[in-house]
Structure 1
Amino acid sequence: MRRRQNCPATVFSGARDGLVNDISVDNNNGENFLTVGQDAQLKYWKISSVVESQQKTPAHSIAIDGIVYGVSHLSFSSDFVTCGEDISVWKPFRETPLRSYNLGTDTIHACRANPIEENVIVGCRSDRSIFVLDTRQDVPLKKVQMEAYSFTVAIEDFSLYTFDMRYMEHPVQSHQGFTSAVLDVDYSPTGQEFVAAGYDRSIRLFKARDMTSRDVYYTKRMASVLSVLWSADSKFVLSGSNEMNIRVWKANAAEKLGPLTKREKQAFAYNEKLRETYKNHPDVRRIAKHRNVPRHIFTAAKEHKLIRDARARRDLRRAKAQGLDEEESYLPQTQKVMLGDAKM
């Protein structure tokens, strides 16, 4: 692996044998990071303050039984969790996990630690189920008694669903707009917005409680987007796509980068207030929500709308044939998507 000569960065070359499945930076001091991959090893790497050309050997490595698909550090801690055949909680440089959770025979493909509640972990399995864990307990959670926290999952039915940990019977909101499978999702540091990556070669930015996206980003040569990340300063969004490119986007497309004068700040604030005041005016709403999208997305969205309308008419006719009224026959999308609540 080669880096540009004028790029002041350390390159970790030959870091692993096989694919790197996940990476996580120490939340306590920010001086180390971990990688897991297909070689069934957990590797510690040192982030040096001195710029080096290459770093080929890790500071420490641990052999693990089975392949690990995800790793995530706990909030404000050097402890971390890994997922694969089970969920394991680790102490730094410890050869064996501190605690393990066996959630069944299905592979756990992703796990993330809650950035606010430091002991809460959420993850997803290959049987299309999601789970919530508290590292202080021995069994998975279904409810959080004191305060609600939300999390969002990306699903192959072209949608995302936001859940409340206290009430897991069905999602509290569905987020739509993609025309193909949704592959990744990441929240902004504020927790009020999130970004999602789609197989339809676009990324979309959603407000946490809105059904439709507030913005959609794409380029002519960008392939399917596999991963997205919201920067810690909430200013930028990073995307990794299938043609092996990383792109940096502005989280607010109209925001000016760099220092602003006092008059510029006042002008931006005034314009934002005008948009907020008149956002429900038909013409203002039409302009604010309009987004130019590629032809393949426009055509697929039009086709999906025809399919949804046809299904709605079919369900209405079926309800009338059974003697039900429209209100009794209507079932929200957030309830249609849930198959059941598995007992662990």
Structure 2
Amino acid sequence: MKTKTNALCWNPMEPMNFTAANEDCNCYSYDARKLEEAKNVHKDHVSAVMDIDYSPTGREFVTGSYDRTIRIFPYNGGHSREIYHTKRMQRVFCVKFTCDATYVVSGSDDTNLRIVPRERKKHEYNEALKKRYGNLPEIKRINRHRHLPKAIYKARSLRLTITNAAKKKDDRRRDHSAPGSMPIQSQRKKRIIKEVE
């Protein structure tokens, strides 16, 4: 890979799949039988992802980041379904699911361990309401919204601006170059340099 991988975790239910936490703010899921392309790119962090751990069910994983947040991703989704942060929490260096998958334990720079409940009961009640009214666009938007700290919100918007500018620059280079000289590379293959046996 082009950037450093900080942690790696194997899926306990699908032993051929693993996910890598990377310095470029993303996590990459791979199939060990086909390493030339990532199965999925998990985005949302705005700083380096330091640690990753799968739940015992293998359906989701938790990540801790240098941006002082903990995020829970579905194993096959590109964006996080939940974010945890507190004012006092510093850079998160270690995250683990408990064996019964009801809590997430995190260790951060402020020398504290935090045990975070996954808030399953509240979400089950809200899911019933969302299922009933989920087809309305306003409800979808509210459902996806998660409050972010101001620093992370600003960093996310800056990162989006940088990404859009780079994409626009590549499009313009492609428009003004010879046809076929600059092929379009997918996000899943872009970060991989070569596969080593």
Q: TM-score range by the shorter chain?
A: 0.7 to 0.9
On the 8 A contact 2:7/2:51 being kept in 1, the answer is: no
On the 8 A contact 1:193/1:206 being kept in 2, the answer is: yes
**Residues 303, 315 of structure 1: CA spacing in aligned structure 2 closer, same or farther, 3 A cutoff?**
same
Q: 2-side partners of 1:297 and 1:116: how far apart?
A: 33
Q: Which of 173, 186, 189 in structure 2 is aligned with 1:318?
A: 173
Give the deviation of 1:161 after TM superposition. 0.3
User: Which residue of the partner structure matches residue 200 of structure 1?
Assistant: 67
Q: Output one character per residue of 1:7-63: Cα deviation in whole Å (capped at 9) or x when no partner.
A: xxxxxxxxxxxxxxxxxxxxxxxxxxxxxxxxxxxxxxxxxxxxxxxxxxxxxxxxx
Question: Which of structures 1 and 2 has the larger relative contact order (alpha carbons within 8 angstroms, sep 6+)?
Answer: 2
On the 8 A contact 2:50/2:94 being kept in 1, the answer is: yes
| Alignment of 1:170 onto 2:170 | no
Give the deviation of 1:280 after TM superposition. 4.9
Q: 2-side partners of 1:218 and 1:203: how far apart?
A: 7
| Alignment of 1:332 onto 2:186 | yes
Which consecutive unaligned segments of at least 5 residues does structure 2 have? Answer: 1-5
**Residues 245, 279 of structure 1: CA spacing in aligned structure 2 closer, same or farther, 3 A cutoff?**
same
| Alignment of 1:341 onto 2:159 | no
Counterpart of 2:196, as a letter, is A
Structure 2 matches for 1:1-344, cutoff 5 A? 115=12, 149-251=16-118, 253=119, 255=121, 268=124, 271-276=126-131, 278-324=133-179, 329-343=183-197
**Residues 277, 319 of structure 1: CA spacing in aligned structure 2 closer, same or farther, 3 A cutoff?**
farther
On the 8 A contact 1:181/1:198 being kept in 2, the answer is: yes
Q: Output one character per residue of 1:56-106: Cα deviation in whole Å (capped at 9) or x when no partner.
A: xxxxxxxxxxxxxxxxxxxxxxxxxxxxxxxxxxxxxxxxxxxxxxxxxxx
Larger-Rg structure? 1
**Residues 282, 159 of structure 1: CA spacing in aligned structure 2 closer, same or farther, 3 A cutoff?**
same
On the 8 A contact 2:72/2:83 being kept in 1, the answer is: yes
RMSD: 2.3
**Residues 321, 280 of structure 1: CA spacing in aligned structure 2 closer, same or farther, 3 A cutoff?**
farther
Counterpart of 2:29, as a letter, is T
On the 8 A contact 1:316/1:329 being kept in 2, the answer is: no
Give the deviation of 1:272 after TM superposition. 2.3
Which consecutive unaligned segments of at least 5 residues does structure 1 have? Answer: 1-108, 118-147, 257-267
User: How many equivalent pairs are there?
Assistant: 190
Secondary structure of 1:240 counterpart: strand
TM-score of the aligned structures, taking structure 2 as reference length: 0.87
Q: 2-side partners of 1:225 and 1:214: how far apart?
A: 18
Secondary structure of 2:173 counterpart: helix
**Residues 114, 191 of structure 1: CA spacing in aligned structure 2 closer, same or farther, 3 A cutoff?**
closer
Q: 2-side partners of 1:277 and 1:339: how far apart?
A: 47
**Residues 167, 277 of structure 1: CA spacing in aligned structure 2 closer, same or farther, 3 A cutoff?**
farther
* Greater than 6 Å deviation, 4+ residue runs: 109-114
Give the deviation of 1:250 after TM superposition. 1.4
**Residues 323, 296 of structure 1: CA spacing in aligned structure 2 closer, same or farther, 3 A cutoff?**
same
Give the deviation of 1:318 after TM superposition. 0.8
| Bigger proportion of residues as helix | 2
On the 8 A contact 2:67/2:91 being kept in 1, the answer is: yes
Q: 2-side partners of 1:295 and 1:320: how far apart?
A: 37
